[in-house]
Structure 1
Amino acid sequence: MSTVKDDGILQPPSAFEGRRWLFPSALVHALDPDAGRPGRRPRRTLRDWLVDFSLFLVAVVFGLAAADSMTPENTPQTLLVVDQWVGALACAAVWLRRRWPVGLALAMIPVGFLSNTAGGAGLVAFFTLAVHRPFRYVGWIGGISMALVPLFFWLRPEPTLPYVAAVAFTVLLGANVIGWGMLVRSKRQLMLSLRDRAQRAETEARLRAEQAQQLAREAIAREMHDVLAHRLTLLSVHAGALEFRPDAPREEVARAAGVIRESAHEALQDLREIIGVLRAGEPDEAGRPQPTLAALDALVAESREAGTKVTLLMRVTEPAAVPASVGRTAYRIAQEGLTNARKHAPGTEVTVSVTGAPGEGLTVCVRNPAPEGEVPPVPGSGQGLIGLTERATLAGGRLEHGPREDGGFGVRAWLPWG
């Protein structure tokens, strides 16, 4: 019975707005708490007025039928007048049934002993009690009223019916009225339950969408780190080399400047693509292709052109059969390993080995020896290896990294290849 607007606030749908008069005011207020004035009872709908008037007529008809059966021969004149006046007041009290259902039902118990014409109003009161209050109220008040029915007909016998038949008919009629009211209440509770279930489903769907968007943004952030760290490290390493060796040969300076320019251009291009995806609010599935294991040769060639000595050992059975997700993870591990080697061990020879076969998994190792001499400080956040560990774990594998016995550093990862 509700929809979610852009601001996330539940609002009643337009179909409900147009048919509000068809629902009881209590149900309208439950479905749309803003329908009534703050601090006041909800206004009666057209349906409420029709139902109230119909029940008032039912109480009047029952009262007239009861009054017609009472004659001066079997009822004293004073009691007859009192009975009719009390019955008329009871019928008028039917209009208060929505505001005080419990009080009206309780009042009808002694009123029923004084006035036979108030029987219809009593039935309406018990019906209202069953509709608007839980069963514990109906059980106690209705039970007391039913228990007093034999006493009533013993004190005031029905001239047209035997005692047992009158008691049985009255108890059966009261039970049917109360059962009808409980059925109406259960239908309203079912409608509210369905509304609440729809609300929870809408809320859960919105939360799942937000979670999916957050996961997509986190994936983009990891890609941003993996891509930009590789590019910017080249900038930092070669700019540091130019700073520490201002007397380097002209060819070496020109090559370093070319690497800086190309890396800056690539980093800027990657940043533009990633920012574009973030602004769009969804991952670019159809954008530039993601690297796989086949792109590892190009990565090694790029590192060699940047001046890093790299040895690639590829011992993979059926490399074309490596799943794209596994190959992409292996590529990112090798890329981060080469990036860290350039930052913290420049001038050393880095060994990248990839081995594996279907059913055995894919093992990626990146090792470098200890650097010679003092290494210029290169800023780093230390989040790269943490991200790689998380990436490998999410892929179902594991990753280990740390210093080696010879003073170097190594990264070893195993990825499942079913």
Structure 2
Amino acid sequence: MTSAAVPEHPWLLPGALTAPTARVRRTPRDWFVDSLCFLAAVGWAVVAWGDSLSAEPALALNVGPSWLNEVDLLASLVLCGALWVRRRWPVGLALASLPLALFSVGSGVALLIVLFTVTLHRPFPVAAGMFGAHLLATPIHLRLRPEPAMSLWLIVGWTLLFLGAVLAWGMFVRARRQLVVSLRERAHRAEAEQQLRVTQARQLERTRIAREMHDVLAHRISLLSLHAGALEFRPDASPQEVARASGVIRDSAHAALRDLREVIGVLRAETGVAEGAEPERPQPTLVDVPTLIRESRAAGVRVSVVEEVADRAEVPPAVGRSAYRIVQEGLTNARKHAPGTVVDVRLAGGRGAGLTVEIRNPWPVGTAGQGAAGQGAAGPAAGSGAGIPGAGTGLVGVAERVGLAGGRLEHGRDAAGHFRLAAWLPWPA
């Protein structure tokens, strides 16, 4: 589990650009910027105050009553101090400072900073309204503080230029910050989606491993049950036969434990193959079907094989692996539900025509037969395979495997009274 990271700048928080009274902690960068703004505003106020005391009125920035200069200085210093709270109340500070635009010269820089803050943190209509109100105060300002060295139109032009530049700059910075916020949100969303895809892929892989475990262990354990049942029903068997059956049971148990250990190791591994662990064995394909048949025959199952595949090595690995698991599931079900019968296995197909896998065995006598889910009812208590429990998911897993491969599956009782499991798998040309 990961904790939410704190943004480098408070304005990167969602809604920080539009929240009217959002309280965020001021960062070192904000302290630096606010200090520069405060010093610039105070510096301009001091310069304007010193210029108002000039002995030559023609060289002064603005002329007016002497008492207005003291009021201007005091109001400018108050506004400079209020700049420290402009981030929290930009519109309120802009409205409160509007009377200063009527007469104050020393608060000019502080007023521009306040208007820039409004543009940065509020929508354009609000910012445009504030700029318009301060622009309308220009004629009154010129009447109270006339400028003898400049014409009216020149003063209005410079005022429009400064206000327009501040408005444009604030809109640009706001748009850039919104773009950064949008990109960061997209990055977080993409990261979350990637984690979701990884989780889904891991879940699908674990489902695949569980399906493989079912197929492998069901085959191994059914062989164990078959040989153990043979020893149970043949207590008078010769020592050689008992030793041979015991050896097969031991080998099958070791193989089942090895397969289970490999599957558990893969499930425990979070990423990749653990250091020092053996690599995963190659998955069986159609080439390994004869070995599967020999194991079943060694366990006493009578298997008849008809193969009409030109070259098993040419079958794609995915198709061959699915065919192997289908044959394995068919033989396992036959040992469980129809022990002692002959199992017919047929493999046919070629490039472009697809691969057909068919397993057929007689329907168990005196039972309801094998169920559609592959569990079915156990056959008569003849042989050692009777009574082997089934999970009921064998053919469900086969159907899922065939569906993922883009093939077709048929299973059930045919016209001859046999249980038939037939699958067609695509084999590209």
CA contact (8 A) 2:52 2:63 kept: no
Residue matched to 1:197: 186
CA contact (8 A) 2:102 2:137 kept: no
Residue matched to 1:323: 316
Q: Are 2:130 and 1:130 aligned?
A: no
Residue matched to 1:100: 89
TM-score, scaled relative to structure 1: 0.84
Q: Are 2:42 and 1:60 aligned?
A: yes
Query: Of the candidates 247, 264, 267, which is equivalent to residue 275 of structure 1?
Result: 264
The structural deviation recorded for 1:283 is 6.6
Residue matched to 1:310: 303
Q: Secondary structure at the match of 2:97?
A: helix
Query: For residues 295 and 44 of structure 1, what CA distance do their matches in structure 2 show?
Result: 67
Counterpart residue identity of residue 260, structure 1: I
Structure 1 stretch displaced more, 403-412 or 296-305: 403-412
Structure in which a larger fraction of residues adopt helix: 1
Q: Secondary structure at the match of 1:347?
A: coil
CA contact (8 A) 2:102 2:138 kept: no
CA contact (8 A) 1:370 1:406 kept: no
Query: Of the candidates 362, 366, 379, which is equivalent to residue 355 of structure 2?
Result: 362
Residue matched to 1:50: 32
Residue matched to 2:10: 26
Residue matched to 1:266: 255
CA contact (8 A) 1:157 1:163 kept: no
The structural deviation recorded for 1:310 is 0.7
Residue matched to 1:3: none
Q: CA 1:152/1:400 → structure 2, altered by over 3 Å: closer, same or farther?
A: farther
Query: Of the candidates 297, 313, 317, which is equivalent to residue 290 of structure 2?
Result: 297
CA contact (8 A) 2:348 2:357 kept: yes
The structural deviation recorded for 1:66 is 4.6
The structural deviation recorded for 1:199 is 2.7
Task: Please give the residue correspondences for 1:145-164 in structure 2 after superposition, counting only pairs within 5 Å.
Answer: 145-150=134-139, 152-153=141-142, 156-164=145-153
CA contact (8 A) 1:213 1:281 kept: no
Q: Are 2:111 and 1:118 aligned?
A: no
Counterpart residue identity of residue 42, structure 1: R
C-alpha offsets along residues 182-232 of structure 1, whole Å, 9 cap, x if unaligned? 333333333333433333343333333333332222222111111101011
CA contact (8 A) 1:317 1:358 kept: no
The structural deviation recorded for 1:117 is 2.6
Residue matched to 1:8: 2
TM-score, scaled relative to structure 2: 0.82
Query: For residues 163 and 64 of structure 1, what CA distance do their matches in structure 2 show?
Result: 25
CA contact (8 A) 1:348 1:370 kept: no
The structural deviation recorded for 1:177 is 1.3
Structure 1 stretch displaced more, 320-329 or 108-117: 108-117
Residue matched to 1:173: 162
CA contact (8 A) 2:348 2:356 kept: yes
Residue matched to 2:373: none
Q: CA 1:114/1:248 → structure 2, altered by over 3 Å: closer, same or farther?
A: farther
Q: CA 1:265/1:60 → structure 2, altered by over 3 Å: closer, same or farther?
A: closer
Q: Are 2:411 and 1:401 aligned?
A: yes
Residue matched to 1:380: 390
The structural deviation recorded for 1:246 is 5.3
Query: For residues 57 and 159 of structure 1, what CA distance do their matches in structure 2 show?
Result: 29
The structural deviation recorded for 1:254 is 5.3
Q: May I ask how many residue pairs the two structures share in their alignment?
A: 393
Query: For residues 201 and 273 of structure 1, what CA distance do their matches in structure 2 show?
Result: 34
Counterpart residue identity of residue 93, structure 1: A
Structure 1 stretch displaced more, 119-128 or 276-285: 276-285
Q: CA 1:155/1:43 → structure 2, altered by over 3 Å: closer, same or farther?
A: closer
The structural deviation recorded for 1:44 is 4.2
The structural deviation recorded for 1:241 is 4.7
Counterpart residue identity of residue 147, structure 2: E
Query: For residues 402 and 159 of structure 1, what CA distance do their matches in structure 2 show?
Result: 107
Q: Are 2:214 and 1:225 aligned?
A: yes
The structural deviation recorded for 1:176 is 0.7
Residue matched to 2:80: 91
C-alpha offsets along residues 158-179 of structure 1, whole Å, 9 cap, x if unaligned? 3222212211211210111122
CA contact (8 A) 2:64 2:145 kept: no
Counterpart residue identity of residue 265, structure 2: G
Q: CA 1:257/1:50 → structure 2, altered by over 3 Å: closer, same or farther?
A: closer
Task: Please give the residue correspondences for 1:248-259 in structure 2 after superposition, counting only pairs within 5 Å.
Answer: 249-250=237-238, 256-259=245-248
Moved over 6 A (4+): none
Residue matched to 1:4: none
C-alpha offsets along residues 348-387 of structure 1, whole Å, 9 cap, x if unaligned? 1111111111011111111111134524332111111111
Q: Secondary structure at the match of 2:340?
A: coil
Counterpart residue identity of residue 74, structure 2: W
Q: Are 2:413 and 1:413 aligned?
A: no
Q: CA 1:406/1:146 → structure 2, altered by over 3 Å: closer, same or farther?
A: farther
Q: Secondary structure at the match of 1:182?
A: helix
Q: CA 1:203/1:266 → structure 2, altered by over 3 Å: closer, same or farther?
A: same
The structural deviation recorded for 1:253 is 5.4
C-alpha offsets along residues 37-72 of structure 1, whole Å, 9 cap, x if unaligned? xx9641441x33332232223323443455536859
- Superposition CA RMSD, Å: 3.0
Counterpart residue identity of residue 397, structure 2: G
The structural deviation recorded for 1:86 is 1.9
Q: Mark the runs of 5 or more structure 1 residues left unpaired by the alignment.
A: 1-6, 17-22, 34-38
Counterpart residue identity of residue 346, structure 1: P
Residue matched to 2:375: none
Counterpart residue identity of residue 285, structure 2: T
